[in-house]
Structure 1
Amino acid sequence: MIPKVYVNRTLNLKRIKFLGLDMDHTLIRYRTPEFERLSHLYMKEKLVRRGYPEIVRGLEFHEDLAIRGLVIDKTRGNVLKLNRHSAIRASYHGLKSIDFKTQQKTYKSTYIDLADADYLAVDTAFSLSLAILFMQIVELKEGNSGLAFPEFAVIADDVLDVLDEAHRDGSLKEAVKVDLDRYVIKDPSVVAGLEKFKKHGKKIFIVTNSDYTYTKLLLDYAIDPFLKDHKSWLEVFEVVITSAQKPRYFYDNLKYLKVNPGDGTMVNYYDRLGPGVYQGGSANSFTKDFHVMGDEILYIGDHIYGDILRLKKDCGWRTAMVIEELSREVGQNHLAEPLNVDIDCHMRTKEPLEEELTVLMTQKSETGHGVDEKRIEELQHQISEIDGQISLLIRQQQNMYNHYWGQLMRSGNEESYFAHQVDRFACVYMAKLGDLLELSPRTYFRAPRRPLAHELAHELAHEGTV
């Protein structure tokens, strides 16, 4: 059977007592292009009302403009894709690609420090519309000098603020509420999986930043219709924590409010945590009140920072990440395999030429005479031709994923920064929650042995002599 859950660190589900779930984009799946198109619309309207030129209202939503894991350089108006070491591997200013020489001149050889407030990470599905609109407005600013646009950093802050406002003021949620079928995916297999895990004694809980009213709306819609062993989602989930303020929930010590599921009213709660619906609180009191160790909890979310990174660092819970783009990327990997083989073939052809050129150039530098200059020119020409062929193949490969940014999980041959974070902080990852829930609650996920660079080098050298 082809695996759908990918393992970074060994995880034994038999040891897991509590299964925690984020709601949005994890337990409840959205039709992401439709939702991001809606966000894009509301953001434009709010920006125009704040004084942005009317031309902004006419911008069309293009979902391919952004992928998760990008970084916005607020000061320069650029959008960057980083490798695992935080080095820039692709960049755009507006809708125009920045060539390598310009990129080098702008950023020198520095690595991007994401702790710097001048950079903004695009790390959730909810952030895609933000990056798309930022790129489009930068393009408008550069192409319309007569229009009054603010500086790039102000644009970035404004776009982020109107997105947050659209979530805070309920405008996005109201639009979803009146057309749930358009924006929310119902998945009966997820409900069946939850009930199966309950039969095996797992306690299931939700920690979401959404408020109780919206949480109830989605759970009533996507969970209750498919229940077979329970009457309501209230019986499925041991605890439902709303308005959790993640990632603050994982490192702070806020107090809980107890929510009345019938009417949504809340009261201060000072007792030991038990089954029910709550608002706020903290992971520290959760583990303490339920007498559970961090490594006995598996929490599943889609936000690398809000759900996974801070949780892993501050709580020691086991972590699983949902990456909805993964399904398509894995499929495209198979289709791209002939191109990858062709690229490897060209690289193997180039390597001995480069080695020969290195010997000749070294000899030239050390002796200053007796070097075949004609051969050096031939080698340089051959290598240049092969590089051109490889570049063409790489562009074809990139277009199989995303025309602007290529693969989500890679930057060329290297891991993307996004993939590096997943590797560091997620014990396991998958395209959707159902991929985990369809497995046995007694599954033992074993991490594969990873060869180190020196081991891989000797292995490849051995293969070359066989």
Structure 2
Amino acid sequence: MVDRLDEGAVPAELGPLDYKGLFKAVSKALFRAHVEGQLKSEIMAEPERFVEPDPELPLALLDQKEAGKRLLLITNSDYHYTNKMMHHAFNKFLPNDKGWRDLFDMVIVSARKPEFFQMSHPLYEVVTSDGLMRPCFKARSGGLYSGGSAQMVEKSLDVHGDEILYVGDHIFTDVSQSKVHLRWRTALICRELEDEFNALIHSRSHRAALIKLIQQKEVVGDLFNQLRLSLQRRTKGRPAQTLAATNMDDQELTESMQKLLIVMQRLDQKIAPMLEADGELFNRRWGYLSRAGLWDKSHLTRQIEKYADIYTSRVSNFLHYTPFMYFRSQEQTLAHDSHSYSSRDINGVAVDDMQ
């Protein structure tokens, strides 16, 4: 919509808009589409237009269920939308005339996450195929419910905390809340990982060349700083750190520094456009999802590391493992780890996210 506004292609009936006005117009339209049910009605009418099926997803869940895991579906969507979408996305891929309901020990619709993890709402049981509900005070295995709370789930299943793995696709309303308030184990689904992973593979040579240039500049910059320190010490009558710099006169030091500055400027001219292009294969505007610049992690990545015990691009990836797999985190490297510094850094400074 920003591109359309910049191009002058926004319909005239919306009136003259700046960016703030565009934000308000889009927000109002989205709010009305959700509240009035227009968005979900269009999706339910033609789910094949909007849903990208994953044939392996139901099979991955079936493996987990048959291995003795108890599966729950907890969604903010209402019963009618949930039933339509799950039927479309699951039933045709399940064997032996199984339906999507056969996978789950409990289904909770209209959960009102993230409040679902923090407080208790009235619980209703969905008792008819057209969505008729009645008040309910205790959940049972195999039931279909509306509302309730996470504490109710723990009580009805008699499981708590890290006995539960919560799988969600929103770091703030799903994953962080279940981790912070209930100490559940968490898995984040981030579909963009697939495109980013492919972009990283195709940009390996570019990043390798860029890192090589940056390392060259660091070497030149270190030499420049040695000469700069030599001039500083000379004013105090103290020797330089290196014999070569000590034996130079003031003119030689100055000329050497000027030459090194020229070399660094030429390296900068090569590095700058390569830095700007890094990540373009994923997104031409702001680069990679998981990175901020060449070295640092993005805010999203730091949130994932803080709240998600595991993350992947789709649930069906669990088919690559058995349902009995125990996932362990990788070794967390530190700035002073033996494999993270060179020999000249042993008595130096360990740098971690310091500009």
Bin the TM-score by the shorter chain. Answer: 0.7 to 0.9
For residues 140 and 148 of structure 2, what CA distance do their matches in structure 1 show?
10
Aligned to 2:204: 337
Amino acid at match of 1:395: E
Kindly indicate whether residue 242 of structure 2 is the aligned counterpart of residue 375 of structure 1: no
1:131-161 C-alpha deviation (Å, 9 max, x unpaired): xx357558869xx9xx643673x65455334
Q: 2 CA distance for matches of 1:138 and 1:427?
A: 42
Higher relative contact order (CA 8 A, sep 6+): 1
Aligned partner of 1:361 in structure 2 is 228
CA distance in 1, matches of 2:7, 2:300: 26
* Equivalent position of 1:187 in the other structure: 54
Q: In the alignment, which residue of structure 1 is the partner of 2:65? A: 198
Change (3 A) 1:210 1:361: same
CA distance in 2, matches of 1:187, 1:459: 40
Match of residue 406 from structure 1: 287
- 1:197–1:437 contact (8 Å) kept in structure 2: no
Q: Structure 2: how far apart are the matches of 1:208 and 1:443? A: 26
Per-residue deviation at 1:337?
0.9
Three-state SS of the structure 2 residue aligned to 1:203 is coil
**Stretches of structure 2 lacking an aligned partner (at least 5 in a row):** 236-248, 347-355
Cα distance in 1 for residues equivalent to 2:228 and 2:3: 44
1:426 to 308, 313, 318: 308
Alignment-mate amino acid for residue 422 of structure 1: I
TM-score relative to the length of structure 1: 0.65
Q: Secondary structure at the match of 1:453?
A: coil
Where does residue 325 of structure 2 map in the other structure? 443
Q: Give the CA deviation at 1:355.
A: 0.9
Give the AA of the match of 2:142.
Answer: P
Which residue number in structure 2 is paired with residue 58 of structure 1?
A: none
Q: Any idea what SS the aligned residue of 1:398 has?
A: coil
- Residue identity (%): 28
- Deviation of residue 307 (structure 1)? 1.2
What is the distance in 1 between the residues matched to 2:193 and 2:303?
15
Structure 1, unaligned runs of 5 or more: 1-132
Please list the CA deviations of residues 35-76 of structure 1 after superposition, one character each: whole Å capped at 9, or x if unmatched: xxxxxxxxxxxxxxxxxxxxxxxxxxxxxxxxxxxxxxxxxx
1:460 is displaced (CA, Å) by: 2.7
Match of 1:298 among 144, 156, 165: 165
Contact 2:43/2:50 (8 A) holds in 1: yes
One-letter code aligned to 1:401: F
SS in 2 for 1:399: coil
Q: How does 1:124-163 map to 2 (within 5 A)?
A: 133=1, 137=5, 148-149=16-17, 152=20, 155-163=22-30
What is the Cα deviation at residue 377 of structure 1? Answer: 1.8
Q: How many corresponding residue pairs?
A: 327
User: 1 CA distance for matches of 2:300 and 2:254?
Assistant: 45
- Change beyond 3 A, Cα 1:186–1:167: same
Q: Deviations over 1:208-251 (max 9, x none)?
A: 11111000001111112222246322222111111111111111
Contact conserved, 2:334 with 2:340, CA < 8 A, in 1?
no
Cα pair 1:326 1:430 within 8 Å, conserved:
yes
Q: For 1:174-253, what aligned pairs fall within 5 Å after superposition?
A: 174-229=41-96, 231-253=98-120
How far has the Cα of 1:261 moved from its partner?
4.3
SS at match of 2:102: helix
Quote the residue 1:166 is aligned against: 33
Matched with 1:323 is: 190
What SS does the aligned partner of 2:113 have?
coil
- Which residue of structure 1 aligns with residue 341 of structure 2? 460
- 1:150 & 1:407 partners in 2: Cα distance? 28
Contact 1:261/1:277, CA 8 A, preserved across alignment: no
Structure 2 CA distance, aligned partners of 1:455 and 1:256?
Answer: 52
Q: In structure 1, what is the Cα distance between the partners aligned to 2:171 and 2:7?
A: 29
CA RMSD of aligned residues (A): 2.6
**Is 1:387 matched up with 2:268?**
yes
Separation in 2, partners of 1:309, 1:323: 14
Higher strand share: 1
TM-score, structure 2 as length reference: 0.84
Deviation at 1:306, TM superposition (A): 1.2
1:266 to 101, 123, 133: 133
Q: Deviation string for 1:167-212 (max 9, x for gaps)? A: 2322111221222112112222211222221111111111111111
Cα distance in 2 between the residues matched to 1:313 and 1:238 = 25
Q: Secondary structure at the match of 2:342?
A: helix
CA offset at residue 289 of structure 1?
A: 2.2
Q: Pick the structure with greater CA Rg.
A: 2
**Structure 2: distance between partners of 1:442 and 1:377:** 63
